A and B are shown apart, each in its own frame.
Chain A
Amino acid sequence: MAFKNDDDKSAYWRENLSLLAKLLVVWFAVSFGAGILFAEQLNAIQFFGFKLGFWFAQQGAIYVFVALIFVYMAKMNAMDKRYGVDEE
């Protein structure tokens, strides 16, 4: 048993799921939201030489994806340590 007790185990999993939910909301918002569903409305906004919706679809979403994974990595590593379930 890696966790100190069952409460810790379920708390760890709940925290993990809530982090996942937050990050996936952002994932959905930048790609399917800004890049597809609301692209037309956002295209009315000029962002440098881009229409904003188009920029999200062909550039912005990808940058956010990369950032999301690194945020997840950092948060999870910290959480593993806090609960004493890291691999060190």
Chain B
Amino acid sequence: MNVQLLTFIIVGATFALYIAIALWARAGSTNDFYVAGGGVPPVLNGMATAADWMSAASFISMAGLISFMGYDGAVYLMGWTGGYVLLALCLAPYLRKFGKFTVPDFIGDRYYSQTARTVAVFCAIFVCFTYVAGQMRGVGVVFSRFLEVDIVTGVIIGMAIVFFYTVLGGMKGITYTQVAQFCVMVFAYIVPAVFISIMVTGHILPQTGFGATLADGSGVYLLEKLDGLSTELGFNEYTSGTKSTIDVFFITFALMVGTAGLPHVIVRFFTVPKVRDARKSAGYALAFIAIVYTTAPSLAAFARVNMIETINGPENTGTAYTEAPSWITNWERTGLIEFTDKNGDGKMFYSGDERNEMKVDRDIMVLANPEIANLPAWVIALVAAGGVAAALSTSAGLLLVISTSVSHDLLKRNFAPNITDKAELFYARLAAGVAIIIAGYFGINPPGFVAQVVAFAFGLAASSFFPAIIMGIFSKRMNDRGAVWGMLAGIAFTASYIIYFKFVNPAANVPENWLFGISPEGIGTLGMMVNFAVAFIVFKITKEAPEEIQELVESIRFPKGSGEASAH
């Protein structure tokens, strides 16, 4: 059976599974639609959170990114996992006890202020839309590469599937499809990684293969070899990296804090029955994420050694183009690999200096892996299904936050407090439908800035939501004005720094011009500090939170008496 047909079958089978789950998990009330009825078992919620969290970019691009960045790739690895520690210890249990549907719900009630609620709603919608456009694009890319349909058709198929289970099932449908998507995704990520690990180092576990000697009998450690190759070819040493220490520090911090402040992740903890389940499912979520995140850097190193050796040959003098393995010519057709024979010797050569004759796209490291390792066709089909699962699961989670923000936070809590549950559910479905269409439009016609903006969603979340939530829990007396001015100052500072260096004056975006040497990617950390500082100063000169709010805060600090998440 050829790869194409097999891919259609496997991807089609996963779609049938998602649709079957959606039919089974229809939402009957807003409680079902917003928080899956509050009855998701913690282990399943952990899987759903992991799938929600790992996007098309994590699945397709991250290993490749690390492969080219070496040590610096750690900013993503630690940044996108460390945030869960903050979530589990400082946010999730208390927000679960608070027991509402959304993040703006918490901010609005805790700070007894419609202004605070509205600021939070717009931050949430902005963060989610920038994110979701990239996901839809990811669906299109996977479809076009593996199934050879064009990107537009791919995006439309993806939209239709997400539409079906989001509009029908809301959080309930999403949760259980995400569980299935998590399984597909992890299996699709681990299988090729294990085979490559065996091929390169003889270790079954990629995590131990990463630190092992090469299987070629030379007795040289993989990383030693990689450092040697890198310096020889004019790259930086793989294990040291190029970013300054302060920048690595600030970027990692911004990603961690941003992760803890992302609304589509936080809402997942409203779906479990108890406070103790919120703690537990955060632990499981990170454990499941760690499976992929500890495999990714290993894969990055294997793939890099493998690629360099394939292109440059064992003698490091280049391999004749006519003898290139088939995956090189296969992926050349997609434009992900390009070869220009600069010195006319008919041999390919890859390096970090003027001898370089290759252009290699980072996505190749995951997408071409099964072919590089000579794996059977079903593994290639599996990788396609995994990529689609990663993109669909994240889009659905984000779209739900957008629809909830509109129907619950804006409509129910602001403009039309008297609408019935049924009417609210109808508006939630309508908002989800509209959001999917807008997201699909951006997926087909991506504005040039999407890719750049996605990375900054973290900085914006770090400088707005995170401090407001933390102060809301850990400081009883923090008041409405402090929180609102803090959020506005934090997000304004962060957004203007990013806009200045990325859009107004991109030519100036070099370390010499950065504030304290912090890149726009890491500025969210400073924005967070600005938020805390402004909030504290404003708090000092205004009245502290009223007595009943202080009692509310005290009541979320211990688990007893947590009910179902509710609107009132």
Residues of chain A whose beta carbon lies under 8 Å from any beta carbon of chain B: 2-3, 9, 12-13, 16, 20, 23-24, 27, 31-32, 35-37, 39-40, 43, 47-51, 54-55, 57-59, 61-63, 65-66, 68-70, 72-73, 76-77, 80, 83-87
Task: Report B268-286 CB contacts with A as 1/0, cut-off 8 Å.
Answer: 0000001110011011001
Within 8 A of A (CB), among B159-199: none
B89 contact from A32, A37, A69, Cβ within 8 A: A69
Check: B253 CB closer than 8 A to any chain A CB.
yes
Residues from chain B with a CB closer than 8 A to the CB of A83 are 558
Check: B29 CB closer than 8 A to any chain A CB.
no
Instruction: Determine the distance from Cα of A50 to Cα of B238 in the docked complex, in whole angstroms.
Output: 12
**CB-based contact A61/B82 at 8 Å:** yes
Given contacts A27-B85, A63-B294, A69-B89, is CB(A57)–CB(B71) below 8 Å? Answer: yes
Shortest A46–chain B CB gap in Å is 9
Residues from chain A with a CB closer than 8 A to the CB of B280 are 73
**CB-based contact B290/A58 at 8 Å:** no
**CB-based contact A62/B557 at 8 Å:** no
Residue of A nearest to B238 (CB): A54
Shortest A3–chain B CB gap in Å is 7
Residues from chain B with a CB closer than 8 A to the CB of A43 are 239-240
Shortest B54–chain A CB gap in Å is 14
Shortest A50–chain B CB gap in Å is 5
Which one, B209-217, B424-432, B461-469, is touching chain A?
B209-217
Check: B559 CB closer than 8 A to any chain A CB.
yes
Check: B447 CB closer than 8 A to any chain A CB.
no
Given contacts A20-B90, A50-B223, A69-B85, is CB(A57)–CB(B283) below 8 Å? Answer: no
**CB-based contact A2/B82 at 8 Å:** no
Check: B73 CB closer than 8 A to any chain A CB.
yes
**CB-based contact B283/A73 at 8 Å:** yes
- Which of A16, A47, A59, A85 lies at the interface centre, i.e. has the most chain B CB atoms within 10 A of its CB? A59
Q: Taking A2-B561, A85-B560 as given, write out 6 further A-B residue pairs in contact, using a Cβ cutoff of 8 Å, ordered by the A residue number.
A: A51-B239, A54-B223, A59-B297, A73-B279, A85-B558, A87-B560
The 4 closest A-B pairs by CB, nearest first: A49-B221, A57-B74, A49-B211, A69-B283
**CB-based contact A69/B88 at 8 Å:** yes
**CB-based contact B297/A87 at 8 Å:** no
**CB-based contact A37/B221 at 8 Å:** no
Check: B245 CB closer than 8 A to any chain A CB.
yes
Residues from chain A with a CB closer than 8 A to the CB of B82 are 27, 31, 61, 65
Instruction: Determine the distance from Cα of A44 to Cα of B239 in the docked complex, in whole angstroms.
Output: 12
**CB-based contact B286/A65 at 8 Å:** yes
**CB-based contact A58/B297 at 8 Å:** yes
B274 contact from A24, A50, A84, A87, Cβ within 8 A: A87
Instruction: Determine the distance from Cα of A86 to Cα of B279 in the docked complex, in whole angstroms.
Output: 13
**CB-based contact B90/A59 at 8 Å:** no
B74 contact from A12, A20, A23, A35, Cβ within 8 A: A35
**CB-based contact A68/B85 at 8 Å:** yes
Give the A-B pair count, Cβ closer than 8 A: 137
Instruction: Determine the distance from Cα of A54 to Cα of B93 in the docked complex, in whole angstroms.
Output: 33
A72 contact from B78, B89, B211, Cβ within 8 A: B89
A31 contact from B252, B274, B554, Cβ within 8 A: B252
Instruction: Determine the distance from Cα of A33 to Cα of B75 in the docked complex, in whole angstroms.
Output: 13
B293 contact from A40, A62, A85, A86, Cβ within 8 A: A62
Given contacts A47-B211, A72-B279, A73-B283, is CB(A20)–CB(B252) below 8 Å? Answer: no
**CB-based contact A32/B211 at 8 Å:** no
**CB-based contact A70/B283 at 8 Å:** yes
**CB-based contact B212/A57 at 8 Å:** no
Instruction: Determine the distance from Cα of A43 to Cα of B71 in the docked complex, in whole angstroms.
Output: 11
Residues from chain B with a CB closer than 8 A to the CB of A87 are 274-276, 559-562
**CB-based contact A58/B211 at 8 Å:** no
**CB-based contact B207/A69 at 8 Å:** no
A58 contact from B74, B212, B249, Cβ within 8 A: B74
**CB-based contact B253/A48 at 8 Å:** no
Instruction: Determine the distance from Cα of A87 to Cα of B561 in the docked complex, in whole angstroms.
Output: 7
- Which of A40, A62, A72, A85 lies at the interface centre, i.e. has the most chain B CB atoms within 10 A of its CB? A62
Check: B248 CB closer than 8 A to any chain A CB.
yes
Check: B287 CB closer than 8 A to any chain A CB.
yes
Instruction: Determine the distance from Cα of A43 to Cα of B245 in the docked complex, in whole angstroms.
Output: 14
**CB-based contact A16/B557 at 8 Å:** yes
Residues from chain B with a CB closer than 8 A to the CB of A50 are 210-211, 223
Shortest A2–chain B CB gap in Å is 4
Shortest B112–chain A CB gap in Å is 22
Instruction: Determine the distance from Cα of A65 to Cα of B560 in the docked complex, in whole angstroms.
Output: 27
Residues from chain B with a CB closer than 8 A to the CB of A16 are 557
**CB-based contact B89/A65 at 8 Å:** no
16 A-B residue pairs with CB within 8 Å: A23-B85, A23-B89, A24-B85, A27-B85, A35-B74, A37-B245, A43-B240, A49-B221, A51-B239, A54-B71, A59-B210, A63-B290, A65-B290, A69-B286, A70-B283, A85-B558
Residues from chain B with a CB closer than 8 A to the CB of A80 are 276, 558-560
Shortest B252–chain A CB gap in Å is 7
Residue of B nearest to A84 (CB): B560
B78 contact from A31, A47, A73, Cβ within 8 A: A31
Residues from chain B with a CB closer than 8 A to the CB of A69 are 84-85, 88-89, 279, 282-283, 286
Instruction: Determine the distance from Cα of A27 to Cα of B74 in the docked complex, in whole angstroms.
Output: 15
Given contacts A31-B82, A73-B280, A85-B560, is CB(A57)–CB(B287) below 8 Å? Answer: no
Check: B371 CB closer than 8 A to any chain A CB.
no
Residues from chain A with a CB closer than 8 A to the CB of B221 are 49
Task: Report B64-94 CB contacts with A as 1/0, cut-off 8 Å.
Answer: 0010000101100110011011001110010
Given contacts A23-B89, A49-B221, is CB(A36)–CB(B252) below 8 Å? Answer: yes
Residues from chain A with a CB closer than 8 A to the CB of B88 are 69, 72-73
**CB-based contact B78/A49 at 8 Å:** no
Shortest B387–chain A CB gap in Å is 23
Instruction: Determine the distance from Cα of A32 to Cα of B276 in the docked complex, in whole angstroms.
Output: 29
Instruction: Determine the distance from Cα of A20 to Cα of B88 in the docked complex, in whole angstroms.
Output: 10
Residues from chain B with a CB closer than 8 A to the CB of A86 are 276, 559-560
